[in-house]
Amino acid sequence: MNPSFLLVTIFLFFATTAMSNPADTTVVRRSYLTQHIQGAITLDGIPNEAAWNSVAWSGDFIQWKPNEGKAPAQPTQFKILYDEKFLYIAYHCIDANPDSIIRRMERRDQFPGDWVEINIDSYHDLRTAFSFTLSVSGVRGDEFVSNDGNNWDVNWNPIWFAKTHIDETGWTAEVKIPFSQLRYGNEAQKTWGIQVTRRIFRKEELSTWQYIPQNSGVWVSRFGELKGLNNIPMHRQVEIAPYVTIQADKYKKIEGNPFAKGFDTKLTGGLDGKFAVTNDLILDFTVNPDFGQVEADPSQVRIDGFQNFFEERRPFFMESRNIFDYQLTGSEAGGDYDSDLLFYSRRVGSSPHAYPNVNGNEYVKMPLNTSILGAAKFSGKTRKGWSIGVLESITQKEMATIDNNGEKRKELVEPLTSYFVGRLQKDINGGKTIFGGIFTAVNRADGLNDRLHSNAYSGGLDFFHTWKNRTWYVRGNMVFSHVQGSKTAILNTQTSFEHLFQRTDAPEVSVDSNRTALTGTGATIRFGKSGGTSGPHGRLFKFETGVTMRSPELELNDIGFMLTTNEINHFTWAGLQWPKSFLFFRTARLNYNHWSRWDYSGKYIYQAFNFNSHATFENNWQTGTGTTWAVFGISNNALRGTSAIRRLPGISHNIYVTSDSRKKFYVFLGANNFWGFQRTMKNNDLEVSLYFQPINAMRISLSANYTYSWRKQDQFVSNVSFGNATRTIVGEVKQHTLRFTGRLSYNITPDLTLQYYGQPYISRPVYDHFAYVTDPLAKKLNDRFYVFSDGQISEANGKYHVDEQKDGTVDYSFSKPDFNFVQFRSNFVMRWEYKPGSEFYLVWSQSNTPDAAADLDKDVPVPRSLFSNAFDNNAARNIFLVKWTYRFLK
């Protein structure tokens, strides 16, 4: 059967099924009437003060998971009061078996054990909310909710106060939230959206005050309402948080190197702050920020030419990032294109782009990262539905210092640079329709003009529209980029891995060495169904289909993240979900995906189909499995610019099992395998993770991941000149990758934690059976290459030398591509929030990247190479850091 015909048939069947569902069941929106406080409240977790008697308890919660619509196992009640500065909430989490309440502790935002949570839509925009979660052990969690509950940002860290207490009736809590931490309008009589949720850990049960059907596909827009808030004064948040850091670095001393004395010290200071320009709009700023306590990035190695993506971990850039988020695609089907962003904050303060030219007798002192002199962020949302975000950051001009027998000179490795992002969105009709735009700019001072763009601009317009109770949607965007620079810099961009204008089989592009600018475009359109009514047995159908494209000249990597260009991708995802318990399942879902791809010349370059399933059982075990059939593939990037190459089809399978995560010991097992047809490729990925909670205050995890990949003949090695032609050298590669990751978290109190993270890592690709490409699009693998015979290729001094004519004369050479990369990264952090918003850190971090090339011998097992090198103290760099911050509040 023709795959396209099958695709259309499946899509029409699912769409017909979805549209045949009956109308939605009406759910009554609840309300709670609060009062101004009369009297004092002592925040001790016991709501027995007379002031609480002025309002009634509200309860009648309804189970949300696992048995939606039924009565919860235990009832829950709450009260709400307010005064001029604070919102007060009292909880009574009734439990007939108080000894069964789970009191686990974790660091902030980990939501351990039993907890209760309130979501507050103080904007009352039906799209965003502020979430405050309190566990029975006193651990606080807070999140900023956006996109009607589809995004929960744990990096929002407001200042608020809470206490809990356990008694013979269950457990109680008192919460005090400053109005300065919320955002609201200046109307005299306010109505806010609220939702209260309780978790009973031992049953893995969630119950809610306002019933919101799981099949609705929404959250904030269905909240109940808080009324009675009258004449609350405007509270403009003002916070100043200076910091001081003392750092000592210990490493192996190198004789003769004036920059490697074995021990360095550094004293630094800076300032973070917040200022509410209005109650809706906040100015965040930082001067000389320090991120020394931030956990190290995981080790990663790629040999396919694509760049690595690292998650943002720095607090200044993480908070309010939902406003600045602008994904080019963001599809439900998923794909490499989903990682593309207009703003990728890791570009700010990254490693310098250049390295100085030195000879063998010189030593270099090189900055590891570009220093951020200062950054400011103006963000928020107005009562009229305008979301505003403006970010400006200035990074320092960085110089490397070179020593030549005592004579020192400096070379520029990064120019002074300005990064700007502006984001604007407007809600219409209660957020059912949203229009927005974004603009970014990177402007660099003179220096490195032949390497970097002098200016880089990008922007876009986006829209989102929902109907039928917000369950159907259409969304899309269009983007542009414009980069300017010297002829050399623009030539480098044209011929870079992301663009490859020099490809001989690409009629849609060509290299122009006289250009000083490039302008590109991109766009995405998505249409789908995110919720609705349930069919028989609570079955729910969802789907999404769309197209996303990037023109050949699109360039975002100065401030954004972009893997490649010159692509038009079609994707479709369809899913059947059972959110309610049935048979022996708590939940289950079945998903179907397909993808197709063309380049801008109209050439068809990719097609794949996928089916996967996931389930949670009544005993809380989870499992899932899926299969992907890669029908057809051509890569425009794999040969690094000479031509495209055919990649033969294959099939992959994945499976995972997780035991009950409520237990003090549980396990995750996962496997992912790919087999290329005609034995052209194989990939095996295995993961085992163990989680152990010996006591409520301690959590330990250890995971091991092993990957073996093998490509026959078509792994790129080098492009070399041969007469007037270019030879593209490829080879067979076998790559072993092994990593272990260990974590330990111990809570002395909810505000005093000890955390350890460690990861030894090794990746070893070894190449053999070298060849050059002859007919890259041939259907048979052996017709694409000419494999060198023993008499044509030899190895010496770390290079391979090729004598194609066998006349005793070397025609060309290329470097031996094998390597053995070993790395160990770890850090130990003691964090003490000695008063709300003020912190004290003790940090020990260790980084070790030894020279492990001696273990490239195939007879040295990968685990032995890892453990014999990763913990070599002679190559380790130890950093000891003390950081103190104090937050002044108004």
pLDDT at residue number 873: 80
Write the single-letter amino acid at 288.
Answer: N
Q: What number is the average pLDDT over the span 294-311?
A: 89
Tell me: the pLDDT tens digits for 78-117? 999 999 999 999 999 999 999 999 999 988 888 889 999 9
In order, the DSSP letters of 485-546 are: --HHHHHHHHTSTTT-TT-TT-TT----TT--EEEEEEEEEEEEE------GGG-EEEEEEE
pLDDT at residue number 276: 85
Strands 129-135 and 115-121: antiparallel
Q: Given a cut of 70, is residue 759 above it in pLDDT? A: yes
Using pLDDT thresholds of 50, 70 and 90, give the confidence band for residue 1: very low
pLDDT at residue number 535: 54
pTM: 0.90
Q: How far is C-alpha 534 from the chain's CA centre?
A: 32
Q: Given a cut of 70, is residue 509 above it in pLDDT? A: yes
Nearest Cα neighbor of 371 from 389, 402, 344, 398 is: 398
pLDDT at residue number 25: 54
Write the single-letter amino acid at 193.
Answer: G
The first and second tokens of residue 732, run together, are 């067979």
Instruction: Say whether 252 sits in a helix, a strand or coil.
Output: coil
CA dist., res. 511 & res. 498, Å (int): 14
CA distances from 646 to 680, 725, 780 (A): 12, 21, 9
CA dist., res. 549 & res. 546, Å (int): 10
Tell me: the pLDDT tens digits for 642-687? 999 998 799 999 999 999 999 999 999 999 999 999 888 999 999 9
Instruction: Give the residue, 746 or 292, on which the prediction is more confident.
Output: 746
Q: What number is the average pLDDT over the span 401-427?
A: 94
Residues 221, 427: contact at Cβ < 8 Å? no
Number of H helices, E strands in the chain: 5, 47
Residues 225, 31: contact at Cβ < 8 Å? yes
Tell me: the pLDDT tens digits for 592-613? 999 999 999 999 999 999 999 9
- Output b/e per residue, 744-782; b: 16+ Cβ within 10 A: bbbbeebbebbbebbbbbbbbbbbeebbbbeebeeeebe
Q: Given a cut of 60, is residue 14 above it in pLDDT? A: no
On the CB side of 59, how many CA atoms lie within 13 Å of its CA? Answer: 13
Nearest Cα neighbor of 870 from 851, 842, 889, 845 is: 851
Phi and psi (nearest 5°) for 91? Answer: -120, 145
The fold for domain 3-230 equals: Immunoglobulin-like (2.60.40)
Q: Given a cut of 70, is residue 533 above it in pLDDT? A: no
Instruction: Give the residue, 830 or 155, on which the prediction is more confident.
Output: 830
Q: With 0-12 CB in 10 A as exposed, 13-18 as middle and 19+ as buried, what is 708?
A: middle
On the CB side of 585, how many CA atoms lie within 13 Å of its CA? Answer: 17
CA distances from 16 to 290, 474, 549 (A): 55, 18, 28
Give the angle 448-552-639 at the CA atoms, nearest 5°: 80
CA distances from 82 to 34, 218, 229 (A): 8, 29, 8
**Mean of the per-residue pLDDT values of the chain:** 91
Q: Given a cut of 50, is residue 20 above it in pLDDT? A: no
On the CB side of 587, how many CA atoms lie within 13 Å of its CA? Answer: 17
- In the chain, what percentage of residues exceed pLDDT 90? 74
CA dist., res. 670 & res. 666, Å (int): 14
Tell me: the pLDDT tens digits for 420-462? 999 999 999 888 999 999 999 999 999 999 999 999 999 999 9
Using pLDDT thresholds of 50, 70 and 90, give the confidence band for residue 19: very low
Tell me: the pLDDT tens digits for 809-820? 999 999 999 999
Residues 421, 389: contact at Cβ < 8 Å? yes
In order, the DSSP letters of 434-483 are: EEEEEEEEEEE-SS-TTTS-SEEEEEEEEEEEEETTTTEEEEEEEEEEEE
Lowest mean pLDDT among 65-69, 161-165, 516-520, 730-734: 65-69
Tell me: the pLDDT tens digits for 139-155? 999 999 988 888 898 88
Q: Given a cut of 50, is residue 8 above it in pLDDT? A: no
pLDDT at residue number 15: 44
Using pLDDT thresholds of 50, 70 and 90, give the confidence band for residue 23: very low
CA distances from 489 to 412, 450, 483, 493, 519 (A): 17, 5, 10, 6, 14
Question: What are the domain boundaries of the chain?
Answer: 3-230, 581-819
Q: Given a cut of 70, is residue 17 above it in pLDDT? A: no
CA dist., res. 454 & res. 452, Å (int): 6
Instruction: Say whether 351 sits in a helix, a strand or coil.
Output: coil
pLDDT at residue number 156: 85
Give the angle 746-749-755 at the CA atoms, nearest 5°: 25
Q: What number is the average pLDDT over the span 766-795?
A: 93
pLDDT at residue number 829: 95
pLDDT at residue number 36: 95
Q: 302 CB contacts (<8 Å, ≥6 apart)? A: 308
pLDDT at residue number 9: 44
Residues 408, 368: contact at Cβ < 8 Å? no
CA distances from 315 to 291, 321, 336, 515 (A): 8, 10, 26, 40
pLDDT at residue number 242: 94
